Structure 1
Amino acid sequence: MDLTGKIVILTGVSKGIGRATAEALLAKGAIVAGWGRTAPEGLEHERFQFIECDVRSEVSVQEAYVNTHREVGEQVHVLINNAGVGIMGPVDGFAGDDWRTMFDTNVHGTFYCCRAVLPQMKKQQLGHIINVASLAGTVGSENMAGYCATKFAVRGFSEALFKEVRHDGIKVTCLSPGSVETNFTGATPGAVPNPHKLQAQDVAAAIVHALETPAGVLISEVEMRPLQPKK
């Protein structure tokens, strides 16, 4: 897909992978509707429109979709479900509210956003949905049971969805990065990139690559790892 002039909805746009992806898409000529609870600081561009949205809320997603139509147009060529949250801890000490927050954001939010855009994409017989999962959705890890469960769910949902909509001309890609140097875990990325972690820009580049595949080609699943992880 040539991204010039294409309308992209991108969730979790305020920082990290979302912010880097917005910048990469704008550099390719796309029109980006960035959904999030807070606007990305300092990101101002004639083809960028921030839309306030909490993906945990079905109503908020519906309102954001209506607002996106009003601000950037009716068509939707791309949806990138990037918004996510990770809360770690042992199962027997895990708070129910934290468990629900992760599922509401990572799983239910992905469903709400996909459901919102699919009627228009089917009408167009064209579209590409990218769901950002994690390598934590491929293998369980101690003290990450809740997060792993949500990302396993995103991978299963993505596989089922791509089989459901491929004949409508809609692509679905599930992207599973490994360790990424972002604010996700609460730590602030250092001034010098960590060579043992992926950078947000690396993930953004992979997203752009998947989107730019020829019309008859689908990259259904991508796993990304740092080449030389910390020993």
Structure 2
Amino acid sequence: MDLTGKVAIVTGVSSGIGRATAEALLAHGAAVAGWGRHAPEGLDHDRFQFFECDVRDEHAVAEAFTNTQRELGPEVHVLVNNAGLGIFGPIDGFKSEDWHTMFDTNVNGLFYCTRAVLPQMKKQHEGHIINIASLAGTAGTANLAGYCATKYAVRGFSDALFKELRPDGIRVTCVMPGSVETHFNGKEPGPEPDPTKMQPQDIADAIVHALEAPQATMISEMQLRPTNVK
């Protein structure tokens, strides 16, 4: 897909992979609707518009989509389901509210956003949905059982969805990064890039690569790992 003039929605746009993806899409000529609870500081571009949206609330998602179409036009070509969070800890001490918060954001929110865009994408017979999962969706890790469960769900949803939507000309890609230097789990990126972690821009570049693949080619899954290890 040539991204020039296309409309893309990016969830969880305030920081990390979401912000980097919005910036990469803008650099490739797209108009970007950034959805999130907080606006990204300093992201000022004539083709970027922020819409406040908590993806856990299906009514908020529907409203954000209506506002996006009103401001950027009816066509929507790209959805990047990036909003997500991880809460770690052993299951026997895990809070039910934390479990529900992760599933409401990582799984239910992704469903609400996907459902919102599909009628328009089907009408266009064109669209590309990017779901940000994790390598935690490929192998379990101690004290990450809840987070892994959500990302396994994202991967399974993505696999079924691409098969469902192929006849409609809509592509689906599940992106599964390993260690990325972000504020994930409350961590602060250091003053210098960590050579053993990928940067948000690296994931954004991979997303653009998948989007710009020839129309006859669908990259259904991407696993991304740091080249250098500790």
Do both proteins adopt the same fold according to a TM-score greater than 0.5, normalized to the shorter chain? yes
Q: TM-score, normalised by structure 1?
A: 0.99
- Residue by residue, what CA displacement relative to the aligned partner does 1:8-34 show, whole Å, maximum 9, x if unpaired? 000000000011111111100100000
Whole-angstrom distance in 2 between the partners of 1:86 and 1:71: 32
- Residue by residue, what CA displacement relative to the aligned partner does 1:48-79 show, whole Å, maximum 9, x if unpaired? 00011000011110010001011111000000
Gaps of 5+ in 1: none
Whole-angstrom distance in 2 between the partners of 1:91 and 1:138: 19
Matching of residues 125-204 of structure 1 within 5 Å: 125-204=125-204
Counterpart residue number, 1:216: 216
TM-superposed CA distance for 1:196, in Å, is 0.3
Counterpart residue number, 2:26: 26
State the identity %: 70
Whole-angstrom distance in 2 between the partners of 1:64 and 1:147: 26
Whole-angstrom distance in 1 between the partners of 2:72 and 2:184: 29
Whole-angstrom distance in 1 between the partners of 2:193 and 2:116: 37
- Residue by residue, what CA displacement relative to the aligned partner does 1:136-173 show, whole Å, maximum 9, x if unpaired? 00000000000000000000000000000011000000
TM-superposed CA distance for 1:177, in Å, is 0.1
Whole-angstrom distance in 2 between the partners of 1:229 and 1:54: 35
Counterpart residue number, 1:122: 122
Whole-angstrom distance in 2 between the partners of 1:108 and 1:229: 33
Counterpart residue number, 2:106: 106
Counterpart residue number, 1:52: 52
Gaps of 5+ in 2: none
Q: TM-score, normalised by structure 2?
A: 0.99
- How many aligned positions are there? 230
Aligned letter for 1:131? N
Aligned letter for 1:72? L
TM-superposed CA distance for 1:185, in Å, is 1.8
Whole-angstrom distance in 1 between the partners of 2:19 and 2:177: 16
**Moved >3 Å (runs of 4+):** none
Whole-angstrom distance in 2 between the partners of 1:24 and 1:78: 13
- Residue by residue, what CA displacement relative to the aligned partner does 1:164-198 show, whole Å, maximum 9, x if unpaired? 00110000000000010000121111121100001
- Residue by residue, what CA displacement relative to the aligned partner does 1:67-109 show, whole Å, maximum 9, x if unpaired? 1011111000000000001000000000000000000000000
What is the Cα-based RMSD across aligned positions, in Å? Answer: 0.5
SS in 2 for 1:205: helix
